[in-house]
Structure 1
Amino acid sequence: MDANVPSETLQHQSKLMETISKLFNNNQLSDINLMVNCKLALKAHRFVLAVHSDVFKSMLDSERWPDSVDHVVHLTEDEDCLAHFEEFVSYLYSGTITLDTENVLPLHVLSEKYNVQELRESTQSFMLVNVTSPSTYNHAITWHKYANLIGLRQLEEECLKFITWNTNTVIKSPDWTLLEPYQLSALLQRSDMVVEDEVVLFQALVSWLSLHPNYAEEMLAHIRYPMMPPEKLFDLLSPGSLPDSIASYLCRESLLVYQAHVLSMETISQRNNMAANPFTMRIYTSERFSQVWDISGYKTMNKIALSKCLSTRHFQLKTEWNVNYSPKGHQILNYTHHIYLPEVVQDDDFSTLTVRLGSCEPADMKHTHKICILLYQCINSQWFVGDVQTLEVPHTGEAKINDLIPLSKRDRYISNGTMKVHLITQTNWENEEEI
């Protein structure tokens, strides 16, 4: 084109999309009717469907599918997808759709079935971002089951991580009772589950069993009864508090609970394997074993070391824990030679955390100590566990994490100038045969 000739490029895509959008479910130029599950009827246009979906294109090819010569195409969809099929087809006309935690999975199913790539990728990304939804809207369990079924490995891993680390949130969601038996069995056997205490987990299991009573014996066997606080166990055994079959099972286990909190571990170990799951702690967030550390004013904080002392009691064992943490790093100055111009001995951004036992009584027990550090992220004004780090703590000396939260990741764990760290203490006994 001659550069001297006047020219102008017109950009009317938005007007074109608006025009096409108006054709959705419109008799104007409609050349096909979609009948879904014999319930939902939609006016459609072969061209629009075929352009966005090679599956529709193949279906509507009269040579490949003789039924397509008819003006009515019958489709069969899952009932959960039926409620969202109309907005799915509307998206094909407009390219616009609003995703939420209720419609995203059905829309992913439909986009997967009809190979609508952009929508499939967008719905998958939405689920990845919104795994950490408040309990009322949380669908991590359903999304995990679906991701496992069709091979969405990243989504599957993120959902499992969230379920394991935020069990207190998940058990309050409507999704909890939808857990498949294989999912629940695997979850109950994990020691890295973050939950308030074993009684809270037991009560959540009772809720699940109300809809799956045939799995009672199998699932109840995975509860770690010695970990139950005796006073809470006493309340659970109040007449009428539990279904008779579950109450009977709990009664059989209650003797060991009371024994574990009254007798010495040497005595208990004569009849029990102390290294087995029933005596292995999960990551309990109750005040018995943990302390939340809200570090406020982070943005204006200097590079200083903070200290926290914890006192815990597990069965007959009393333990004192001393924790030091430098949330922003270290700056150490030497004033020896130049009072007004101190020498910088150390200046770094490493958020070092060190742990030392102050005391452990009785000290002759065959046991080990561990501390779990939960790092919280604030999402939609709610705090969720975003990472868990563990540290073996010796009886003498100190244990250290050189950089608990690297500087490049630190912002994600700060909200309104506050960093929330949760210190969870654990004590586990060794089996005498292994010593």
Structure 2
Amino acid sequence: MFRSAARVGQESRPDDKLGPSGSPQVDKSCSSRNAGDIEIDNSNHVLVKIATLYAERLMNDICLVVGGVEYPAHRLILCASSEVFQVMLMNPRWSESHESRVVLKETPACAAIFGEFLRYFYTGQIRISHLTIMPILALADKYNVKDLITLCIDYMCNHIAHAATHNQLVSWFQYTLSLGHYQVAQACQNFVKWNLEIVAKTSDFGNFHHEILAKLLQQNDLVVHNEMAVYNCVVRWLELQREQLTEDSEPELEAQMEALVEEVMSYVRFPMMTPRQLAELLLSPLTKKYKEFFIERMAIGMSFHSGQLDRIVEVAKSEGGRLLFTPRLYTADKWSSLLTVENFTSLQAYHTRTLVFTSHSGLAECAGDKTCEWVVDVYPKGVWFRKYFLIVWQGTVEVPESVLRTVRLSITCKDPPSESEDLRVKVGILITGIQDGVEHVMSVIQRNHRFSEDDKVLNLDDILSFDELNEICMCTNSNSSEPSPFLVGRDRDILKIHIVIAPLCEFSSTDPPDKTLIMPSR
């Protein structure tokens, strides 16, 4: 027997309940009704009756044939559930409107779950997993079942990490992008950008279309250990491409591989590698195979580290040239440090945690190994400004206390440069969280900033939603509670934040972070 997932035909109210033995319970709470009026909610029983029509194949007036399997159905239910079926079965201009047996052409994946899809029309229930979500969404899109589309989108947004660890994320990303479900596509894109090294280990990584991958590699907010990690991810993708192209003849295979190497490797930022890493690339089989291409790009990197200004200016003026001299969000110790707030639930309101660390103040080797020291304060439970008195020429002014419900992170440059010097940096705040048991970077804030003697402090408010971090979430289907998804650790009581501070040189791109979706060319 089927049970309804939601009530139909009336507004839900918490006091609408069934009495003992499942008998309808009357509602006498509304004082505006006439004396003696009652409203009976027997919708569950009605839905069971409708579901029985499908389960026992009673009174069907049409048969849908999918993949050679017959599905007896009812025109009324099909038309009420799907705008496409409504047009197909009610418009006289469509031949299907006159037929009692309609053959539908579906992909094998869609045909395999068509019975579950049709059952949803009668029961409002459907089982979804990371393996079936794409064919279910495809059917919901094809037949314009709007409520099921919404359910699929919600499921995908809430299980991005699960898809990533089960070889589905890239497929989800490109599929939802092609269908125009940009909410899911944006969530997938963020996961890829902020957890590239995790995604690159999956076989699904090879499904990246070369054009989309190339655009991804142009992004400044890729979170990686260093630029060599980006190179290794691209090498992994190229290996997967070669495996997929093995059916081609040798000349065609090599021509395609050479084109792919030049397209995607052009966006690896070789100047952001150290001279030692550039030298190690000489031993790479890929470098040896496409020597001319790689030597030219490695030479640009060495020109940057040796301070060959003329060559750097020439490259920077070319299209996209400035990106080569722009750091990404590197988590290597040279540029970043980890701040953890342990025993988070025990931390008192308005209290702070502090981190002191140093980062290199130059990108190029010729700049030396000078460092900058930073003091980072995080206020995860709000900011309290005490009352104080301000003395001005008119007299004394009382400034009342103030409380901000914000998650603030404050960065102080301990030794700011003099007016004649320049300290422009890229600041990245990487916040770790957990979804589906997978710990990964869930939120990223990126800011370009110039520190000086007059501007020593950078305050970033609302780096996380105050309520989402501090309020306990109640589980939907139980009375148990869950901590914030941004708390990690065995006991889910640790706030983990990576602070990245990478210098920007005069040739670095200073464009604001691009948060738009990576779209393939038309």
TM-score band by shorter chain is: 0.7 to 0.9
Task: Spell out, residue by residue over 1:194-245, the C-alpha distance to the aligned partner (whole angstroms, 9 max, x if none).
Answer: 22222222222223334273432122111101212444455554364x3854
Give the one of 199, 206, 218 matched to 2:263: 218
Residue 278 of structure 1 aligns to which amino acid in structure 2? L
Residue 254 of structure 1 aligns to which amino acid in structure 2? M
Residue 324 of structure 1 aligns to which amino acid in structure 2? V
Say if 1:55 and 1:114, in contact at 8 Å, map to a contact too.
yes
1:280 CA drift (Å): 0.9
1:189 CA drift (Å): 1.2
Give the one of 408, 419, 425 matched to 2:495: 419
1:63 CA drift (Å): 3.3
1:10 CA drift (Å): 6.8
Residue 338 of structure 1 corresponds to: none
- For 2:372, what is the secondary structure of its paired residue? strand
Which deviates the most, 397-406 or 268-277? Answer: 268-277
Residue 21 of structure 1 corresponds to: 51
Task: Spell out, residue by residue over 1:360-418, the C-alpha distance to the aligned partner (whole angstroms, 9 max, x if none).
Answer: 89998766223211223322232332231425141434132152446344335345232
Give the one of 273, 279, 296 matched to 2:316: 273
- 1:264-413 mapped onto 2 (5 Å cutoff): 264=307, 269=312, 272-273=315-316, 276-302=322-348, 303-313=350-360, 314-316=363-365, 317=367, 318-327=370-379, 328-330=381-383, 348-349=403-404, 350-358=406-414, 368-381=424-437, 382-396=439-453, 397-401=455-459, 403-405=461-463, 407-411=466-470, 412=484, 413=486
Q: Is residue 130 of structure 2 the alignment partner of residue 85 of structure 1? A: no
1:299 CA drift (Å): 2.4
Residue 253 of structure 1 corresponds to: 297
Give the one of 128, 131, 156 matched to 1:99: 128
Say if 1:330 and 1:346, in contact at 8 Å, map to a contact too.
no
Q: 1:20 to 1:428 in 2, by over 3 A?
A: same
Q: CA separation in 2, counterparts of 1:325 and 1:56?
A: 59
1:42 CA drift (Å): 2.8
Residue 297 of structure 1 aligns to which amino acid in structure 2? N
How many percent of aligned residue pairs carry the same amino acid?
23
Q: CA RMSD in A?
A: 3.9
1:123 CA drift (Å): 1.4
Residue 340 of structure 1 corresponds to: none
Say if 1:320 and 1:357, in contact at 8 Å, map to a contact too.
yes
Aligned length: 421
Residue 42 of structure 1 corresponds to: 71
Task: Spell out, residue by residue over 1:299-325, the C-alpha distance to the aligned partner (whole angstroms, 9 max, x if none).
Answer: 222444433222333433432231231
Q: CA separation in 2, counterparts of 1:151 and 1:301?
A: 43
1:96 CA drift (Å): 0.6
Q: 1:345 to 1:306 in 2, by over 3 A?
A: farther
Residue 213 of structure 2 corresponds to: 184
Say if 1:324 and 1:354, in contact at 8 Å, map to a contact too.
yes
Q: CA separation in 2, counterparts of 1:124 and 1:271?
A: 46
- For 1:276, what is the secondary structure of its paired residue? helix
Q: 1:83 to 1:399 in 2, by over 3 A?
A: farther
Q: CA separation in 2, counterparts of 1:281 and 1:373?
A: 15
Q: 1:352 to 1:4 in 2, by over 3 A?
A: closer
Q: Is residue 241 of structure 2 the alignment partner of residue 205 of structure 1? A: no
Question: TM-score normalized by structure 1?
Answer: 0.80
